[in-house]
Structure 1
Amino acid sequence: MNRSNRIDVALLCLTGFLRSFATGLMGVIFGVYLFRLGRGSAEIGILTAAGLAGATIATGWITWRGDQFGRRKALIVLALLWVAGGAGLAFVSSFIGLLLVVFAGMVNAMGTDRSASYVIEQAALPNLVSDRDRTWTFSWYHLVLDAGGALGALAAALPIILYRWRAVPIPTAYAAVFLGYSVLGLASAIAYSFVSKQIETAPTRQETPTVSSASKKHVFGLARLFAIDSFGGGFLTDAVVAYWFFRRFGISEVQLGALFFVIHILNALSHLGAAWLAEKIGLLKTMVFTHLPSSVFLIAVPLAPNFTIAAALLLAREALVEMDVPTRQSYVAAVVNPHERTFAVGVTNLSRSAFWAIASAISGVLMQNLTFSAPLIAGGSIKIGYDVLLYRKFRHIRPPEEV
């Protein structure tokens, strides 16, 4: 990797860290802030969905037109919309106003980065490294993102700290935090302006890049399977799992915060283990052989007699479950041509986002009407089915570095 490419990779990791920090922060405080404004559960749900809808539409546009518009320009525009979203939250309080702000600003209250910027970065990173270094690059990238998310979650205490230690009124404290959120977006826009043109696709005379039939077959096949995985994952959001522990064992928010901080750290470290294992057994086997046992640990959590054992099982699951993230993205990038990567990443991420949202809406209904542990059991079982199907369908399709 030459010096220019190393700088580009570092800049994309930096912007990913800033975005994940902001996402981790917003995932914790968004609902609480709206509750303090007097918004009910239905309104909070609608506003959360509006942010996800904005991000999904942006991802769709990036998938089909992002490369023609220019990846670097698109990243800067998306970062500036992030700035506008934070500023809007600081000064707007009416429901309609908030609806427009979170939609246009693509405010992500899910706690996990599902942005259009994330799609572009996934497509750009393989352009900057060799096939042999691709998986390690994705692993370090996601380690940085998870670290940002963990620190962002801790930063959610800032409004209360400002209130208790500086006697700042709660609304003013939240406004200050939202403006800080905007500053992170501005810093990202500035960082993106220094990224080289190497992240762009090769110029083509066609208005829309051609995607080969073989690549389409791989991409749509993976997208269908990833939709199954995300449907299972939608039952297992941080909010649902935290609520389950809170109700089942009566633990405090402080204990939950500590538990989820450790979860993020394990997720981050597991990415490096994934890259090492992929070098030994291959990308697809790493994806399946780590993901499947993690779901077994998850299904066992509701059977635990106390918090200590349940937490240990959950942590065992989290040490494995995200090892498929960098390997999955490296695999998607490997089975298509370089100019098809934005299309491949966009389509697979769109399928994941849509089904994640659908299952999230269903999980509460299952908890209330079937059994309280239903989301954990259903999510784990669906994910096991996904692993089996993925291995059966794609075990003979190998990336270039494994041939």
Structure 2
Amino acid sequence: MFSTLGFSDSQIGIFMTLTLLGDVFISLLLTLVADKIGRRRILVAGALLMLISGVVFAISSSFSILLLAAIVGVISPSGNEIGPFRSVEESIQAQITPPHLRAEIFAISGIVDALSTALGQISIGFFTRYMKGKGWSELAGYRATFWLYAACAAVKLGLTLLMSEECEVEPVREYMPVSTDEDIPLSAKSSPQTEPPTPIALEDNPRGVWSTIVSSFPTFSEESKPIVLKLALLLGLGSGASGLVPMSIIVYFFSQTFHLPTNILGLIFFTTSLVSDIAQLLSATVAKRLGLIKTMFVTHLPSSLLLALIPIPNVYLASTVLVIRFCTGTMDVAPRTALISQLVLGEERTSVMGILNTVRTLTQAVGPWLSGWLSEGGRLWISFVVAAVLKSSYDFGLLAMFWNARPREEVVVQNNDDRHEQDEESI
């Protein structure tokens, strides 16, 4: 669309970069205050901004106005969701879902997300071609797609308004006991929660506008701070490795190395996407048997190591390795989200997920530039090897740091029981 408006390549590059950075900042800000302001209010505001930005893109040709609309409306330059919605929605799903079902719910959510994205990409391609065949100009076809984008935002707004109070953080935390045989432990040594923790009361702070603004931001418990730091370091390491070999780089490697026609490339990567989606559904079943951390390790480590074998100078072997890698490459996604939801307290969950998603986005953004620099010198294979090493380090680091981890609610229960016993002894 931008080229049809007469924007230069440098302007388009600046637009994409500023949009990405702006989206990350706004998304982090909104996720940090979502639990205090209200999760539904954040989602409603986001849907309204999406609606407005869609209309702006459909009618405006100003570079500055489009840039502002893209940043405020959280339009992703990559096509993937980087806005605050995912963090808020995952936090809501974790709150209203029993712990032993979270991995399955997140897996199903991931499948729906992937299929919806694919459907949107395919339908928009056919839509623009159809409009062009009807005599519409290329620019008019692009503008029509943004009217469809605005319509989708309106539907999202309506659905968000129908959400119930159960989506919000409870003033007094009440966790349901989940001592069933089907619980998914974090590791073999963790045990399921048997009773709810002692409620934590939050004090009001009526000291003025500035105090109100400050109080809208979360305060993490002392126990959660090192956990968030460890998760940020590990996820930043893993995402940085993913940034070295994103799907676009892999497609480019196969195209330039083996000179494959587009239909063969399409078949290869359609197969990888298909097995990746199927694997996500299987991850919840594996997690029930092994636990979340073991599932993440045993499924993701082989995928990490196989990255180093993709640059094999044989199209059949390279394609086979690629497909095998994607068989387990996404099986850690749902368990990882379930793990994060259990490692922090309920009132911290949205903010933590927002912070971690921001870290992952920023670290992943560096990789393509490095891979492009290596590719210019004919050394793109180094990206695959380095990515394999970094991802393997992430896997072993996760196992080492969280092998003995227990759900935070369980820890709170234990601490309360210990204090209760000490009080009884003192009496």
Q: Does TM, scored on the shorter chain, surpass 0.5?
A: yes
Range 250-259 or range 183-192, more displaced? 250-259
Q: What do the CA deviations read for 1:127-157 (whole angstroms, capped 9, x no partner)?
A: 1111111111111111111111222232342
Distance change >3 Å, CA 330–CA 312, structure 1 → 2: same
The residue identity in structure 2 corresponding to 1:373 is W
Contact 2:371 2:380 in 1 (8 A): no
Q: In 2, distance between residues paired with 1:401 and 1:316? A: 37
Following TM superposition, by how much is the alpha carbon of 1:311 offset from its aligned partner in structure 2, in angstroms? 2.5
In structure 1, the residue matched to 2:99 is 131
Contact 2:94 2:341 in 1 (8 A): yes
In structure 1, the residue matched to 2:138 is 170
Q: What do the CA deviations read for 1:365-402 (whole angstroms, capped 9, x no partner)?
A: 22213613333232222111111111111111144799
Following TM superposition, by how much is the alpha carbon of 1:50 offset from its aligned partner in structure 2, in angstroms? 2.4
Q: In 1, distance between residues paired with 2:44 and 2:291? A: 35
In structure 2, the residue matched to 1:396 is 404
Distance change >3 Å, CA 152–CA 123, structure 1 → 2: same
The residue identity in structure 1 corresponding to 2:288 is E
Q: What do the CA deviations read for 1:52-97 (whole angstroms, capped 9, x no partner)?
A: 2232112221232111111001011111212222222222333323
Q: What do the CA deviations read for 1:223-277 (whole angstroms, capped 9, x no partner)?
A: 1111111111111222222222222222344444444443333232222111111
Range 39-48 or range 272-281, more displaced? 39-48
* Correspondence for 2:322 among 314, 318, 338: 314
In structure 2, the residue matched to 1:48 is 16
Alignment of 1:196-275 (within 5 A): 196-203=164-171, 204-206=202-204, 207=215, 208-275=217-284
Q: In 1, distance between residues paired with 2:56 and 2:391? A: 38
What SS does the corresponding residue of 2:308 show, helix, strand or coil?
helix
* Correspondence for 1:355 among 341, 359, 363: 363
Q: In 2, distance between residues paired with 1:355 and 1:383? A: 13
Alignment of 1:330-369 (within 5 A): 330-369=338-377
Contact 1:158 1:177 in 2 (8 A): no
Question: Is it true that 1:93 corresponds to 2:61 in the alignment?
Answer: yes
What SS does the corresponding residue of 2:404 show, helix, strand or coil?
coil
Q: In 2, distance between residues paired with 1:180 and 1:259? A: 30
* Correspondence for 1:188 among 156, 165, 171: 156
In structure 2, the residue matched to 1:107 is 75
The residue identity in structure 2 corresponding to 1:106 is V
| Aligned length in residues | 370
Query: Can you give the 5+ residue segments of structure 2 that lack an aligned partner in the other structure?
Result: 172-201, 205-214, 412-427
Q: What do the CA deviations read for 1:339-377 (whole angstroms, capped 9, x no partner)?
A: 111122122112111111122332212221361333323
In structure 2, the residue matched to 1:293 is 302
In structure 2, the residue matched to 1:23 is none
Bigger CA radius of gyration: 2
Q: In 2, distance between residues paired with 1:354 and 1:50? A: 13
Distance change >3 Å, CA 311–CA 42, structure 1 → 2: farther
Distance change >3 Å, CA 40–CA 134, structure 1 → 2: same
Q: In 1, distance between residues paired with 2:80 and 2:33? A: 24
The residue identity in structure 2 corresponding to 1:205 is E
In structure 2, the residue matched to 1:7 is none
In structure 1, the residue matched to 2:25 is 57
Distance change >3 Å, CA 198–CA 60, structure 1 → 2: same
* Correspondence for 2:287 among 278, 293, 306: 278
RMSD of equivalent CA atoms: 2.2
Q: In 2, distance between residues paired with 1:92 and 1:253? A: 34
Range 142-151 or range 68-77, more displaced? 142-151
In structure 2, the residue matched to 1:17 is none
Q: In 1, distance between residues paired with 2:44 and 2:374? A: 41
Q: In 2, distance between residues paired with 1:38 and 1:363? A: 29
Following TM superposition, by how much is the alpha carbon of 1:287 offset from its aligned partner in structure 2, in angstroms? 1.0
Distance change >3 Å, CA 114–CA 391, structure 1 → 2: same
Distance change >3 Å, CA 362–CA 163, structure 1 → 2: same
| TM-score (structure 2 length as normaliser) | 0.81
Alignment of 1:7-18 (within 5 A): none
* Correspondence for 1:73 among 20, 24, 41: 41
What SS does the corresponding residue of 1:302 show, helix, strand or coil?
coil
Contact 2:106 2:334 in 1 (8 A): yes
Q: In 1, distance between residues paired with 2:268 and 2:149? A: 24
The residue identity in structure 2 corresponding to 1:81 is L
